Chain A
């Protein structure tokens, strides 16, 4: 089991950040991804595998300020 934005979902072996974002249907262009409180830079999404029991935060950045 992994947690994405406090929602529990099924753990999948060898799943990368890119795969997970696709599975969750998160297709916003500008997001911040943190796995177990550690920031994952965008260029590492396709090579970073998600460990079981991870706590993942996906935050969507929206223009305006």
Chain B
């Protein structure tokens, strides 16, 4: 690819901002992928701390156990790219005002774990910020059957979807599948941000 084209893409990404709700398997891995890709600003929201059981799939390290996930991921992003602007919100998203932290970003990634919270969050964003693209994921648990994953698009809503997956209460969460879905979301995000460059 010629340098001019690459410069144009990198410039566009640097000017872009993405909000991520949740920093578990989906959110931590999507954040790292987007940081590596060169997205200029990330708004990251989570209330949890890093636990040992997270390390089989989430982008944290042993020495970060007990740390707030927001601070731990910021630390890891900074090691990759210290120029990214990071806004952290260390609290639970409150029903009725879940859109609040994300009003100014270009697009939102839903990276929550519980199905009910996912549904509530997506519905609130679509209702209150109808112009904002939102990328969700459903069917993260399990392993194998990569070919089942697809993107569902309806208006501004994109869902990275494995319809036949079991819930995480009934199936194991593994790095390959969760990272696949997280990177799938990040890949859709780039596609949306760079649409005009096609």
**Do the two shown chains form a genuine complex with each other?**
yes
What is A's interface to B at a CB cutoff of 8 Å? 29-32, 34, 37-39, 41, 57, 59-65
- Would you call A59 and B126 a contact (CB within 8 A)? no
Residues 125-169 of chain B, each 1 if its beta carbon lies under 8 Å from chain A, else 0:
011000000001111110000000000101101010111011111
Judge if B40 is at the interface, Cβ distance under 8 Å: no
With an 8 A cutoff between CB atoms, is B78 at the interface?
no
CA distance A30 to B122 in the complex (A): 12
Counted as pairs of residues, one from A and one from B, with CB atoms less than 8 Å apart, the total is 81
Would you list 6 pairs from A and B whose C-beta atoms are within 8 A, ordered by A residue? A37-B155, A60-B163, A61-B122, A62-B140, A62-B166, A65-B25
CA distance A60 to B118 in the complex (A): 10
CB-CB nearest in chain B for A56: B154
B173 touches A (CB below 8 Å): yes
Known: A32-B159, A37-B155, A59-B154. 7 other contacts (CB 8 A): A30-B119, A31-B119, A39-B157, A63-B115, A64-B168, A65-B26, A65-B140
A59-B161 in contact (CB<8A): yes
Chain B residues, Cβ within 8 Å of A39:
123, 126-127, 157
| Chain B residues, Cβ within 8 Å of A30 | 115-116, 118-119
Is B154 within 8 A of A57, CB to CB? yes
- Measured between beta carbons, the chain A residues less than 8 angstroms from B138 are 59-62
A57 to B158, alpha carbons, bound, how many Å?
11
Q: Cα distance A18–B154 when bound, in Å? A: 20
Q: Are B157 and A34 in contact (CB under 8 A)?
A: yes
* Contact A65–B27 (Cβ < 8 Å): yes
B19 CB to closest chain A CB (Å) equals: 15
Of A41, A59, A64, the residue contacting B141 (CB under 8 A) is A64
Chain B residues in 8 Å Cβ range of A64: 25, 113, 139-141, 165, 167-168, 171, 173, 178
Please report the C-alpha to C-alpha distance between residue A37 and residue B102 in the assembled complex, in whole angstroms: 21
Within 168-185 of B, Cβ neighbours of A (below 8 Å) are at: 168-169, 171, 173, 178
